[in-house]
């Protein structure tokens, strides 16, 4: 996953039905200073995707070069997103976001499940002010959990071995362990060859976050919002060697290798700007930029920032249903979204870009 990188320009089409009072709200983005009217419920469904066919600017090749010829497919992603928003009162809105990402990594797939739950409270509102006239506060939790990732590609395993123990003469070749001129090949009780591999386990991320935002509506045509936030995270992951097959001697030797744990706590602060514009009555455009700054251990300062851009257009089908096509780009890969991928051995891979498109609909009840 540390080698994933690609970039896609974000062209989005999202629809925003007007509310009965003539106002409107952002629908694709949820980091802003506005709440839903009391009793309103919105449901957003998105299909997430990136591959070579969608990389219209060929940025994937620019980012990873010929790495796929050695390591296999890297970075292609499919996924889904569901978000539910409920206007609890005239001052409070509840947000629940669920996502599933399936990202190609050599011959394996990283499968991450994401949950984000937060409440937004309207602290202040005065529509007669000519400057920013709303202030909101968000507070919530984030959970990410990934399935075990099995790495079987010889080139990728050897690359990891050299990072963990530079200069070692141990390598894997077609499932055999090579130590100088010694070649060790293992078989199970049925005579089938055993292929040692590396497993990344216990990949998870949990966090508490708070965010303060201010915003302004310009007549009934535009929204502008600024926000700042802080996130405190617990990050876990563990790398260990394992065989594919059964061999008591090989098992006993691999058990002598201590797993490498990358557990840590970290803090992230961010600032962002969000802009929304209605045009041609049934079309709505959204744009956001966010800057993230991480505070990690002294050995993890190589890439401690990220820039995230999202953009959108909108088409209202009727007063309740909207369809959209959208996406985002991250300038330093998944540094923000999947922090368990970042550790002292992978940190130099996070200077690459990554992004995806998002297609779907929003329904307002």
Could you give the CA distance from residue 102 to residue 188 in angstroms, rounded to a whole number?
32
Per DSSP, what are the bridge partners of residue 16? none
3-state secondary structure of 10: coil
Domains of the chain by residue range:
41-146+204-247+260-364
Give yes or no for a contact between 307 and 289, defined as CB atoms under 8 angstroms apart: yes
pLDDT of residue 182: 81
pLDDT at 46 over 60: yes
pLDDT of residue 3: 35
* The residue to which tokens 């997430």 are assigned: 48
pLDDT of residue 331: 86
3-state secondary structure of 351: coil
- Decide which of 152 and 17 is more confident: 152
3-state secondary structure of 265: strand
Could you tell me which of 168, 167, 172 has the C-alpha nearest to residue 156? 172
pLDDT at 16 over 60: no
pLDDT at 250 over 80: no
Could you tell me which of 188, 92, 199, 107 has the C-alpha nearest to residue 148? 199
At 255, the pLDDT band (50, 70, 90 cuts) reads low
pLDDT over 70, % of the chain: 80
pLDDT of residue 243: 61
The model scores a pTM over 0.95: no
* Residues 6 or more apart whose Cβ sits within 8 Å of residue 262: 235, 236, 237, 238, 239, 340, 343, 344
Give yes or no for a contact between 192 and 174, defined as CB atoms under 8 angstroms apart: no
User: What is the token pair recorded at 249?
Assistant: 């001697």
Classify domain 41-146+204-247+260-364 at the CATH superfamily level.
Answer: monomeric porin ompg (2.40.160.40)
Could you give the CA distance from residue 215 to residue 226 in angstroms, rounded to a whole number?
6
- Decide which of 73 and 294 is more confident: 294
pLDDT of residue 55: 55
pLDDT in tens, 317-354: 988 899 998 888 888 888 888 899 888 877 766 667 88
At 59, the pLDDT band (50, 70, 90 cuts) reads low
β-strands 354-364, 41-50 pairing: antiparallel
pLDDT in tens, 117-174: 999 999 999 877 778 889 999 999 999 999 988 887 777 777 777 777 777 777 777 7
Q: In what order do the strands lie in the sheet with 176-179?
A: 170-173, 176-179, 182-184
Weakest mean pLDDT among 14-23, 33-42, 90-99, 248-257? 14-23
Weakest mean pLDDT among 83-87, 108-112, 158-162, 357-361? 158-162
Q: What is the mean pLDDT of the chain?
A: 81
pLDDT at 251 over 70: no
* Residues 6 or more apart whose Cβ sits within 8 Å of residue 125: 133, 134, 135
Could you give the CA distance from residue 157 to residue 163 in angstroms, rounded to a whole number?
10
pLDDT in tens, 19-41: 334 445 666 789 999 999 999 99
Could you give the CA distance from residue 47 to residue 82 in angstroms, rounded to a whole number?
9
pLDDT at 15 over 50: no
H or E element at residue 59: helix 59-64
Sign of the CA dihedral running 152, 154, 159, 165: positive
Task: Establish how many alpha carbons lie within 13 A of residue 132's alpha carbon, considering only the half-sphere containing its beta carbon.
Answer: 16
Cα–Cα separations (whole angstroms), residue 93 to 85, 258, 272: 7, 47, 20
User: What is the token pair recorded at 315?
Assistant: 């088409």
DSSP 180-246: TTEEE--B-TTSPBP--EEEEEEEEEEEEEEEEEEEEEETTTEEEEEEEEEEEEEEEEEEEEE-SS-
DSSP 291-329: EEEEE--GGG-TT-EEEEEEEE-BEESSSSEEEEEEEEE
Could you give the CA distance from residue 294 to residue 253 in angstroms, rounded to a whole number?
38
Number of neighbours of residue 183 by Cβ within 10 angstroms:
10
H or E element at residue 102: strand 92-105
pLDDT at 5 over 70: no
């Amino acid at each position: 996953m540390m080698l994933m990188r690609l970039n896609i320009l974000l062209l989005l089409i999202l629809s925003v039905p007007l509310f009965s009072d003539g106002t409107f709200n952002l629908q694709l983005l949820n980091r802003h200073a506005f709440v839903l009217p009391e009793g309103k419920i919105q449901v957003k469904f998105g299909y997430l995707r990136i591959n070579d066919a969608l990389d219209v600017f060929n940025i994937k090749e620019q980012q990873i070069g010929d790495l796929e010829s050695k390591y296999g497919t890297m970075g292609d992603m499919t996924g889904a997103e569901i978000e539910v928003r409920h206007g609890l009162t005239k001052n409070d809105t509840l947000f629940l976001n669920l996502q599933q990402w399936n990202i190609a990594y050599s011959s394996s797939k990283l499968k991450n499940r994401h949950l984000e739950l937060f409440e937004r409270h309207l602290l202040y509102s005065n529509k007669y002010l000519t400057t920013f006239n709303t202030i909101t506060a968000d507070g919530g939790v984030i959970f990410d959990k990934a399935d075990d990732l099995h790495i079987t590609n010889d080139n990728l395993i050897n690359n990891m071995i050299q990072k963990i123990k530079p200069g070692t003469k141990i390598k894997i070749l077609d499932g055999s362990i090579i130590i100088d001129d010694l070649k060790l090949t293992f078989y199970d009780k049925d005579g089938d060859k055993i292929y040692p591999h590396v497993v990344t386990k216990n990949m998870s991320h949990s966090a508490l976050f708070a965010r303060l935002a201010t915003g302004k509506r310009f007549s009934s045509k535009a929204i502008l919002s600024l926000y700042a936030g802080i996130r405190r995270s617990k990050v876990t992951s563990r790398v260990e060697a394992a065989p594919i097959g059964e061999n008591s001697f090989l098992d006993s030797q691999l058990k002598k290798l201590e797993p490498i744990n990358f557990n840590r706590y970290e803090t992230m602060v961010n600032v962002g700007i969000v802009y929304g514009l209605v045009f041609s009555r049934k079309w709505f455009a959204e744009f956001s930029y966010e800057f993230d700054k991480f505070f990690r251990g002294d050995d993890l300062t190589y890439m401690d920032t990220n820039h995230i851009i999202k953009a959108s257009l909108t088409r209202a089908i009727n007063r309740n249903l909207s369809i959209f096509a959208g996406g985002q780009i991250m300038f330093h890969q998944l540094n923000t979204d999947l922090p368990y991928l970042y550790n002292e051995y992978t940190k130099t891979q996070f200077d690459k870009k990554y992004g995806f498109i998002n297609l779907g609909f929003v329904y307002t009840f």
